[in-house]
Amino acid sequence: LSVAVALCLLSPHVQATYYLLIAAALFALYLTFGEPSTEHLQPRLIRLGVTLVAVIVGFGIGAPQILPFLEYIPHSPRAAGYSVGYAGSTSYGIPWDHVPEFFLGGFTGAPEAYWGSNPLKHHSEYLGLPVVALAILGFGDRRRRLVWWLGGIGVLFLLIALGGATPFYHLWWAVMPMVKKTRAPGMVFFVVAFCVSMFAALGVSRLERGEGEGGAQPRVARIWLIAAGVVALLGAIGVFGQMAVSLAPSERVGAAIRHGSAIRMSAIIGALFLAAVAVLVWGRLRGRVPAFAFAIGLPLLVGLDLWRDGRGFWTYSAPPSRGLYQDDAVITRLKAAPLPMRVLDVGVYPQNVLMAHGIPQVLGYQGNELRYYDDLLGGRNDWRYLLSSTRLWPLLAVRFVLIPDSTALPGYHLVQGPVTTAAGSRAFLYEADTIPPYARVIPAAVKVPNDSVIPPTLADPRLPGYDRVVLLPSNAPINPPTLQGLPAPSLSKARVTAWDAGKMTVELDPAPRDSSYVMIAENWYLDWRASVDGHPGMVLRGDNSLLTIPVAPGARKIELSYHSRTYTRGKVMAFVTLLIVLAGFAVPLVATRRRGPAAPGERGSAGG
């Protein structure tokens, strides 16, 4: 159990693990208290406690992932909750227009033909008519307490998956820890699907036991046949297609209309699979289908039904060397440029293609980005300060710009284009007329009482430059001298002489004559460490997001390294808890060997 929990945490998807552990905890309570038992309460509580310890140990093994993540949260865009509050947290829940898809495969359309109310859809919520039919049968299982516990877990997580579609999520969002920092509650539907699968398994068990043979069960098969006929008829006359049109948002009604024929065909095919399962079950209960044929036929029919719906969401990619990530003329040109530098890609390559080649980007997708950087650029996915002008580009050391069409960029000249990239897009590559500095010496600093004014101030074209004053947040641990006026740029120049992942060396020439600040076009984070001429230095967050190191007069060399203390602590915890797990395997084995084999009269003495 500890290893399973650790692997879930290290996968990593903390939100999915959060839901999984809640569902598992509810089932653990069922195992402890859910069924009548003559066993004393104490041993049951001990088992429950051992289970809790196993989960805690699993968190210990996952500590290298968890501790740095917890440390990062205050610096994330979701530090105070999801950016748009309750509406953001409920985004990508399952809307009501998706609910028919539980029973009708492809109701809301595959990715290229989606008409529902979510912004996009790359998954299916189809449970399958045969599975639902078996699950309804399983709900009548004689283990009533198990049925009600499973049903309760399924209903709870269905309400969570529906998100803002029901009032329930207001309570969940207000009460449950960390939920305010999440979105996409629809992902929890995997628990609902699991509970439905469990009920379907109970239904198959009832069929295997032959409950009601010659009576109730054959009637169930006939009911399934009738239901299949009704579904096929409604699908054929277009009822489900009209339902889609009525549920579609106004801007996507056309897509729903075009998808009507696919909905009709899917309903008919689903009904045929349900009818085939009904015939198979009827034949088995009548003794006309051998057990082996039933054992092969049932999962085959169910599997084919699920496969025909799910295959539209499976994506097969070419090997990186022959697909999106292969070299092309632009990549080759950028790789030849000496580091450090940055490339601003505005709509040429998708997401992080350049980073896959080791080329630093200004933009791209990073699930754990810093809110300071987002704010500096003008807001996540908006980037209004970055894209409205070239003002911020020198601050970020933007040497190259990639755009899909040619245009005039002040301070940049065309070096390549038009070029067709490996992604199949057209590219024009521009290079800065003067290579922007990756590090600069700034003679003065100002603490800004309201941090929110820093990004718009830096983007303001009236600001004389970035080499005269660095803006520090209000919580900076220093108090720079009050400025009497705007100082002249420093005569000292900073040069990056070594640059690698987590390591940088910056040399100052000539050495500054006064106390100054060296700002580097690299994102600040609390795990950066600095030394100035061999002595420990201070690392500040300057100009909202960038590494800034105060230096004394005469400073010549700065060395920076990235070292996460929480990650180191997490590794120590992981090794210790992993030893506990190994001991859990080894100690009982050793103890059993020392006791030796049990005597004949002792074996099974507890009563079978």
What is residue 438's three-state secondary structure? Answer: coil
Dihedral over alpha carbons 199, 204, 207, 209 (to 10 degrees): -90
What's the average model confidence in pLDDT over 94-122?
Answer: 91
Which tens digits make up the pLDDT trace of 236-259?
A: 999 999 999 999 999 999 999 999
Confirm if 309 and 105 have CB atoms less than 8 A apart: yes
Alpha-carbon distance of 477 to 104, in angstroms, equals 60
The residue written with tokens 């050793």 in the block is: 590
What does the pLDDT look like over 434-489, one tens digit per residue?
999 999 999 999 999 888 899 999 999 888 889 999 999 999 999 999 888 889 99
434: which residues sit within 8 A by CB, 6+ positions away? 411
In single-letter form, the type of residue at position 309 comes to: D
Residue 585: band (very low, low, confident or very high) from pLDDT cuts 50, 70, 90: confident
Residue-wise pLDDT for 376-413, tens only, equals: 999 988 999 999 999 999 999 999 999 999 999 999 99
Burial of 321 (0-12, 13-18, 19+ CB in 10 A): exposed
The rounded percent of the chain whose pLDDT value lies above 90 is 77
Q: Does residue 122 have a pLDDT over 50?
A: yes
Interval 337-386: pLDDT, tens: 999 999 999 999 988 899 999 999 999 888 788 999 999 999 988 999 99
Q: Which amino acid is at 219?
A: R
* Cis peptide, bond prior to residue 340, ω within 30 of zero: yes
Instruction: Give φ, ψ of 112 to 5 degrees.
Output: -85, -10
SS3 content of the chain, % helix, strand, coil (to 5): 50, 15, 35
CA 8 from centre of chain? 13
How many other C-beta atoms are found inside a 10 Å radius of the C-beta of residue 19?
20
- The rounded distance, in Å, linking the Cα atoms of 445 and 450 is 15
Mind listing the pLDDT tens digit for each residue in 479-533?
A: 999 888 889 999 999 999 999 989 999 999 999 999 999 999 999 999 999 999 9
For tokens 């992942």, name the residue.
Answer: 501
Distances (CA, A) of 482 to 63, 334, 377, 485, 487: 44, 43, 28, 9, 12
Give the global pTM: 0.83
291-306 average pLDDT score: 95
Stretch 185-200: mean pLDDT: 96
Residue indicated by tokens 């859910």 = 34
Q: Which helix (H) or strand (E) holds 500?
A: strand 493-500
Secondary structure class of 100 (helix, strand, coil):
helix
Q: What is the DSSP letter of 33?
A: I
Q: What is the pLDDT of residue 58?
A: 95
Specify the DSSP element, H or E, that contains 472: strand 469-472
Task: Give whole-number Cα distances, 396 to 169, 302, 380, in Å.
Answer: 41, 55, 16
Q: Is the pLDDT of residue 604 over 60?
A: no
Could you give the CA distance from residue 364 to residue 375 in angstroms, rounded to a whole number? 15
What pLDDT was estimated at residue 312?
Answer: 85
- At position 580, the amino acid (one-letter code) is I
What is d(CA 66, CA 566) in angstroms, rounded to the nearest whole number?
9
Beta strand spans in 512-574 (E): 516-523, 528-532, 535-537, 540-542, 546-551, 557-562
On whether the CB atoms of residues 289 and 328 are closer than 8 A, the answer is no
Cβ-contact 374, 455 below 8 angstroms: no
The predicted model gives 77-101 an average pLDDT of: 85
Q: What is the DSSP string of 189-244?
A: HHHHHHHHHHHHHHHHHHHHHTTTTTTHHHHHHHHHHHHHHHHHHHHHTTHHHHHH
Count the Cβ atoms, other than its own, within 10 Å of residue 141. Answer: 18
